[in-house]
Amino acid sequence: MPIRALIFDFDGLILDTESTEYQSWQELFTTHGCQLSLDRWIDCIGRPRGYFDFYAHLEEMKGVVIDREQIRTERHARVRELNLLQPIQPGLVDYLHDARRLGLKIGLASSSSRVWVHDHLERLALYHYFAATKCVEDTGTHKPDPAPYLAVLDALSVPADEAVAFEDSPNGIASAKAAGTLCVAVPNPMTQHLQLQHADYRLDSFASLSLSDLLIQLTGATLPE
């Protein structure tokens, strides 16, 4: 079957917001004389916000109640500061440009909020590439549930076996595969050591292989006519 669409995750794939989130939490825990383990953070990657209560975890480690609202405000400000310094992942813009040149439809499937995703895409001048973006408000579910990908496939009017998904985490890969798409893993520094073997292909980065060559690897050069 020809490939007619590409569907991208957002957090950790287009912009490495996972590293900045971890850095902000790590700084917070260190300020309070505690240590947030990388293993604890990695278990939360790709899961919905609120999956694990880091404020409660800090309180448990300190043995005292903290001022959550003040800390939340300060940490969110720090995350915004760090995210503004993050570049778009290497090679990502070339993939979007080449997908458009090849006539492929482009979608985005995220478990994050619409405001979070759209604001970043607009700030990075990427929003115009996407014919469909589906976020948590659109499905009410989170990855690894396939609903985010199924919603994008429906919006693009493309069968699952004619789409390729790009993900950076095991939960994202599970979501894409459950929806029936091919899936390419493109890990970031936080996810490169995770179990990503269920993806159909793995790239070190978007810059490591052109989109055309990737499609050759995946499908034997079946490109849109």
pLDDT at 46: 66
Q: How far apart are CA 127 and CA 88, in angstroms?
A: 13
Q: What residues contact 61, with CB distance under 8 A and at least 6 apart? A: 29, 32, 34
Residues 115 and 151 in one domain: yes
Residues labelled as active-site residues: 9, 11
Q: Which residues of the chain have pLDDT under 50?
A: 222-225
Distance in angstroms (rounded) separating the CA atoms of residues 21 and 48: 14
| Tens digit of each residue's pLDDT (9 = 90 or more) over 179-188 | 999 999 999 9
Same domain, 104 and 73: no
136 with 211, same domain? yes
Q: Interhelix angle for 170-179 vs 147-156, to 10°?
A: 50
Q: Are 118 and 26 contained in the same domain?
A: no
Looking at this protein, which amino acid is placed at residue 1?
M
Asked whether residue 225 is assigned to any structural domain, the reply reads: no
pTM of the predicted model, to two decimals?
0.89
Beta strands in the chain (DSSP E): 5-8, 105-109, 132-134, 163-167, 182-185, 201-202
Q: Residue 161 maps to which CATH number?
A: 3.40.50.1000
Domain range enclosing 27: 17-84
